Structure 1
Amino acid sequence: MLHAELLRKESTWAHIAALQSVFLQYGIPFSYYVDSHSIFRFVRGRDSLRYRHHQLTDEATPQWKQVLDDCNVKVIYALSAQAKGKIERPYQWLQDHLVRTCVRENVTEIQKARTILKQEIRHYNHRQVHSTTQEIPHLRFLKALEEGKTLFRPFAVNPPFESPKDIFCLRIQRVIDAYRKISLNNFQFKVNHSNPRDPVTLRIYPLNAMLSEVRVWCNNKLIDIQKIK
């Protein structure tokens, strides 16, 4: 199990941060198998007259998928309840065990629950023999790497990107105004090395709950970096 986190609320950034954790530590996987949650896939008009209920369209690309597109990772969507069950069923035991442990130990704070989750993941990866493979998952993973029997590939920042922050980020499109400024969440700031009416992409990397690094890209070139609250 490469990543697990306990959060108060699911968010796009939390899923992007999870991608960053896995890619930087283990490498880039061949594909991701996910459900059709709006974080993973844009779904339009499934109940409209024009689109049948089972049809899904990718007319807009969610932030999470843009990260995978930058890394050339294929996304496979579970389009039925049965297919979705394949994602959730293997880890149902962990969710149930986590809840039972928290109840037994009278844990009511999320930070303490996170500690228990980390302990469970460590036990599963490094000590527990898998019921199907009859091997310890961590040792099996290392063996696959040594023998070249893995679809993971090393992570690298490829041009024109200059940092992992240019990949594992939130993206917003803006146009430079006549004063060489742009606005973001009602905050206006000047962009260095820019020209009026230039279209730019803001690649926003949250540093913490209060501060984000905004990396301004224009014509595949990083032209400015600013930190904004």
Structure 2
Amino acid sequence: MAHAEFFWAEDLYALELCFQQALLRRGLPWRVYVDRGLIFQAEVFTRACAELGIRHISGTPGHPEGRGKIERFFETLQDQFLRELSHHPVPHLAALNERLAAWIEEAYHVQVHSETGEAPAVRFARLKGRRSVSAEKLAHVFLWRRVRRVDKTGCLRFDGNRYEVPPGLEGRRVEIRFHPLHLERLSLFIDGRHVGDAVSLDLAHPVYRGLDRVHHPEPSRPVEPAIPYLELLVHRRRQRQARAMSPLRLSLLEDPEAMPDV
């Protein structure tokens, strides 16, 4: 499992966020196999795959066996993670995703697979020739795009907002590239060439109105105690992360008094 995450909506933006995390964690695959759902066939997703050198393959209608592996994962998720979680629900989405990541890395990835005979983490570590990608590259290729015309005064309107563009673009059609959560500034392109940025003059809608509101930043709330088993997995994951980042903090995390009560 390259990456998994819970979202409040099953839409294109959620797919982008999850897919980008998978690419940053595991590198670029040569192929991605998806079904024919609208979000998997969306222009922003298929174009990003092409620009990253990933072959976009769609499943054949009427052949569900092609989705057998992901269905088996969901079955394991249901039997192990969600069953454990049902006894002690967590207070918010961030806490839920932290426990999911801990379960994947500390439990699911270390279990021996019945077909391969080895744990997924061990099998992945043996792979050679992995292609890495930077966060900056992903941020660029996953920008949403629209086409608008600049008016005679050197301004353009987009999503209910008014923007000022660089001189010389009056009357031109430009491609707008933007992040749906940040409409303060838009990148402008003509024939694939960056020609400047559009700066907001009247920002009535800082977030793209076509984006589901559930993706707007969630207010922070205090984390409450959760399930002992998943808490232990979270603790183990934090230990490994701290060991990788700073050996100076390892002694603190290995203190028996720092272990959670189980």
TM-score range, shorter chain: 0.7 to 0.9
Q: Is the alpha carbon distance of 1:125 and 1:225 closer, same or farther for their aligned partners in structure 2, counting shifts above 3 Å?
A: farther
Q: Is the alpha carbon distance of 1:108 and 1:166 closer, same or farther for their aligned partners in structure 2, counting shifts above 3 Å?
A: closer
TM-score normalised by structure 2 residue count: 0.66
The equivalent of 2:64 in structure 1 is: 82
1:154 corresponds to which letter in structure 2? Answer: S
How many residue pairs get aligned? The number is 199
CA apart distance, 1:156 = 6.7
1:33 corresponds to which letter in structure 2? Answer: Y
Identity of aligned residues (%): 23
SS at match of 2:24: helix
User: In the alignment, is the contact (CA less than 8 A) between 2:163 and 2:199 conserved in 1?
Assistant: no
Listed as ranges, the matches of 1:126-205 within 5 Å are 126-145=109-128, 148=129, 152-155=130-133, 163-205=137-179
User: In the alignment, is the contact (CA less than 8 A) between 1:124 and 1:137 conserved in 2?
Assistant: no
The match for 1:225 among 173, 185, 197 is 197
SS at match of 1:216: strand
CA distance in 2, matches of 1:16, 1:227: 25
Q: Is the alpha carbon distance of 1:183 and 1:169 closer, same or farther for their aligned partners in structure 2, counting shifts above 3 Å?
A: same
2:28 corresponds to which letter in structure 1? Answer: I
CA distance in 2, matches of 1:3, 1:156: 16
CA distance in 1, matches of 2:118, 2:199: 47
The equivalent of 2:37 in structure 1 is: 37
CA apart distance, 1:131 = 2.1
- For residues 175-221 of structure 1, give each alpha carbon's deviation from its aligned partner in whole angstroms, at most 9, with x where no partner exists: 22212222111101011254123222222125xx5666522212222
Higher helix share: 2
Tell me the C-alpha RMSD between the 2 structures: 2.7
CA distance in 2, matches of 1:96, 1:178: 62
User: In the alignment, is the contact (CA less than 8 A) between 1:176 and 1:198 conserved in 2?
Assistant: yes
CA distance in 2, matches of 1:128, 1:227: 51
Listed as ranges, the matches of 1:95-106 within 5 Å are 95-106=78-89
CA distance in 1, matches of 2:187, 2:90: 40
- Stretches of structure 2 lacking an aligned partner (at least 5 in a row): 201-205, 207-262
CA distance in 2, matches of 1:28, 1:66: 15
1:175 corresponds to which letter in structure 2? Answer: R
SS at match of 2:8: coil
CA apart distance, 1:138 = 2.0
CA distance in 2, matches of 1:193, 1:139: 56
CA apart distance, 1:98 = 2.7
User: In the alignment, is the contact (CA less than 8 A) between 2:164 and 2:199 conserved in 1?
Assistant: no
User: In the alignment, is the contact (CA less than 8 A) between 1:40 and 1:65 conserved in 2?
Assistant: yes
CA distance in 2, matches of 1:81, 1:212: 45
The equivalent of 1:214 in structure 2 is: 186
- Stretches of structure 1 lacking an aligned partner (at least 5 in a row): 42-60
User: In the alignment, is the contact (CA less than 8 A) between 1:39 and 1:63 conserved in 2?
Assistant: no
CA distance in 2, matches of 1:156, 1:117: 24
29-38 or 163-172: bigger deviation: 163-172
TM-score normalised by structure 1 residue count: 0.74
